[in-house]
Structure 1
Amino acid sequence: MLALNANITLAQALNAPEAPQTVDASGKLQFYRFADVNVQVAGQIKDVLFAVGDAVQEGQLVMEISPAIRANQMDSNRAQMARLRAELADQQAQTDFAELQFKRQTQLKAQNATRDESVESSRMNLSSARARVDAINAQIQQLEATLKSDEESSRHKQVLAPLSGTVVAVNARPGQTVSIGQQGLPLMRIADLSQMTVQARVAEVDVTRLKRGMTANFQTPGYPGRTWSGKLRQVLLVPADGTAEQGKQTFYNVLFEVDNPEQELMSGMTAKVQFIIAQPKSALLSPAKPVAPVDAQ
């Protein structure tokens, strides 16, 4: 019986599955695809149509702005443009007349039928008329630029969602004054929660063992006992912030995505990650046959 038990124990040991070779790391979940909503025109927020947690579609109206450019100001600029164009037409007619006068005086001078003073006077009148035309044209160009800017501002009073997803942050409120390129928090952030990114910090000694496409498994404290998987996408080539300094260990950020169809995973969750370096070959051994005891002769 001793020989039989010894053989069974040996067979069980030989058939025990080998553990995969892994690199362990800690990480955080973050949004894989998101976009911030900001304004393209200065003004005042009139209405915010969505709150945190709401689903939106790309191109959907999410916010309305009352532009700083008022309608009466645009009307005033258009009226000024009409006056300038009428003034330009009148001045152009005066310039044409001045050109005729100058040509006539030039011809008379060639015939010695006019004085030098008259020729110079007509030349000056023509130069002055042309200068006034140039000045009016410059005013028209400047006003055209202003009108174009006003019209652009008027068109951008509706703020649209840049992508389909879920509103994850709102920092805008009705009545708030906003400007183009303002600093600080985005007015709204929209994220596609169907997929998340895990950013893991891997020690320098292990990062060279990682390859693109290898399997990465992780668990998070929020869901004990559950495991998610993804494929390694990228190893960032610069050290992680706060590492690689004098006296500190160097770590590198490694990224991979995980599907999140039920939107259970959230940005900022902690991830305990295992990168699978190599899977053991399943060598299924047949159970060892017990050795029959030899009868004593």
Structure 2
Amino acid sequence: MWYKNKRFLTIAGVAAAVLVVLVLWLLFFNKPKRPELVTQPAAIGNVEKTVLASGTLEPFEQVNVGAQVSGQVTKLNVELGDEVKAGDLIAEIDSQKQKNDLATSQAALNNQKAQRASAMASLAQAQSNFTRQQTLYQADAGSKADYESAVQQLKAAQASLDAANSQIQQATISVNTANVNLGYTRIVAPMNGTVIAIITKQGQTVNANQSAPTIVVLGQLNKMTVKAEISEADVIRIKSGMKVYFTTLGDPDKKYYATLRSVEPAPTDFTGETTTGNTSSAIYYYGLFDVDNPDGTLRPSMTAQVYIIQESANNVLTIPSAALGRKGKDGSYTVRIIGKDKTKPEPVKVKTGINDGTNVQILSGLTAGQQVVIAQASASGSSTSSGGNRNNRAGSSALGGSTRPPRGL
């Protein structure tokens, strides 16, 4: 019996010891950990507030070289990518009809010249007869009727010569027109440029009766124009003279810089007709700027991701936008920094400048190197922004007003 009591006391003692250890652990060792703070130092950097747009590249000058006469393209002198100069022969159209028209007009002109020679001879004869009849009449040796008849014959001969001269002018115009039409069968380059498209092939027949058909398209590729689609939410803040840069899909790391030349006053799909009622389609306006392309890297119809710089500041004190707290009535923001004890964050008021949605310019309240709190890690391992969702939304609008990506990207 005593053996069983001793065993019971032993078990009870062990249980009591475990209970004491558990209580001590809960009291002294199971304290909640301090939340981990995500910080970043205030640093010198660059800030720029931009409007994002999608653009398309076009040649600075582009011409559709067409035909003004109908017929078969008998010869095409260029190939895609050829460099041509103004006046170079591009193509030839069958010119037999135009040659025949020229020959007919020339023959008609020659006929009118022959008729004028006959009229001049008749005029000379009438002039001679008039002089003789006038002399006789003045000497009372001729009749008045013969004199008056000579006057009428002279006037008729002069009128016939005037008519012949007018007909010659008309025939000359016809010859000139036929020459011009014959010249239209030779298609020449109107400017220096590169053949960027061949629309009509050799042997093809073109019809210029309704509209001038295009033979080739020429473009000057040493300078390109970017047409950027700017949303209606952003266009009110955009004006000519702003600095812009863009990247291409093929080389997103290279930036091309330029200056905004103009913003078109009407939307990209404007037709001139008045529309009524609500529309669900987005409204865009073209912003135009030019960029040099000496090496030909940029090509027509490339897509450009365009950044229009509204404001910028270089070599200024910056912190992440996520570190901003609430905005005060005086326009300042509250920022939490790591204080002297390096554990508890301290609130500091700062005045800000340009905010690009990622970084914000600090005008006063901080110095370079101070650690600002941008997020706080929770017990589950997730983190929350120091400024909260409100600042995240503000950062999106700082990128240009619209959080939807531009059309075409």
TM bucket normalised to smaller: 0.7 to 0.9
The one-letter amino acid paired with 2:164 is I
TM-score (norm 1): 0.76
Selected match of 1:165 from 193, 201, 207: 193
**Pair 1:266-2:299 in alignment:** yes
**Pair 1:279-2:320 in alignment:** no
The one-letter amino acid paired with 1:259 is D
Q: Per-residue displacement from partner, 1:10-64 (whole Å, max 9, x unpaired)?
A: 6x43117464211122222222222221346665432111232333333322212
The one-letter amino acid paired with 1:210 is I
Q: Aligned residue for 2:4?
A: none
**Pair 1:53-2:81 in alignment:** yes
Q: Aligned residue for 2:220?
A: 192
Kept after mapping to 2: 8 A contact 1:44/1:177: yes
TM-score (norm 2): 0.58
Q: Distance in 1 between matches of 2:52 and 2:185?
A: 50
Deviation at 1:227, TM superposition (A): 3.9
Q: Aligned residue for 1:128?
A: 156
Q: Aligned residue for 2:285?
A: 252
Distance 1:70 1:256, change over 3 A: closer
Q: Aligned residue for 1:4?
A: none
Q: RCO greater where, 1 or 2, for CA within 8 Å and sep 6 or more?
A: 1
Q: Distance in 2 between matches of 1:242 and 1:97?
A: 72
Structure 1 portions without partners, runs of 5+: 1-7, 290-297
Q: Distance in 2 between matches of 1:48 and 1:238?
A: 40
Q: Aligned residue for 2:340?
A: none
Selected match of 2:118 from 90, 96, 104: 90
Q: Per-residue displacement from partner, 1:150-205 (whole Å, max 9, x unpaired)?
A: 33444554332223332122222334455768625522111122332221122334
- Bigger strand share: 2
Distance 1:14 1:185, change over 3 A: farther
The one-letter amino acid paired with 2:120 is Q
Distance 1:177 1:102, change over 3 A: farther
Q: Percent identity?
A: 32
Distance 1:56 1:77, change over 3 A: closer
Deviation at 1:136, TM superposition (A): 1.8
Deviation at 1:255, TM superposition (A): 0.7
Distance 1:179 1:104, change over 3 A: farther
Q: Aligned residue for 2:91?
A: 63
The 3-state SS of whatever aligns with 1:212 is: coil
Deviation at 1:101, TM superposition (A): 1.9
Please tell me whether Structure 1 or Structure 2 has the larger radius of gyration of its CA atoms. 2
Bigger mean CA deviation after superposition, 101-110 or 193-202: 101-110
Q: Distance in 2 between matches of 1:42 and 1:140?
A: 29
The 3-state SS of whatever aligns with 1:282 is: strand
The one-letter amino acid paired with 2:64 is D
The one-letter amino acid paired with 1:165 is G
Q: Distance in 2 between matches of 1:229 and 1:125?
A: 83
Q: Distance in 1 between matches of 2:127 and 2:158?
A: 10
Kept after mapping to 2: 8 A contact 1:42/1:68: no
Q: Distance in 2 between matches of 1:281 and 1:77?
A: 74
Q: Per-residue displacement from partner, 1:235-266 (whole Å, max 9, x unpaired)?
A: 12233324995435653211112333443433
Q: Aligned residue for 2:337?
A: none
Selected match of 1:232 from 238, 241, 260: 260
Q: What is the count of residue pairs matched by the alignment?
A: 281
Bigger mean CA deviation after superposition, 183-192 or 66-75: 66-75
Deviation at 1:82, TM superposition (A): 4.2
Q: Distance in 1 between matches of 2:139 and 2:150?
A: 17
Q: Distance in 1 between matches of 2:270 and 2:113?
A: 64
Distance 1:245 1:201, change over 3 A: farther
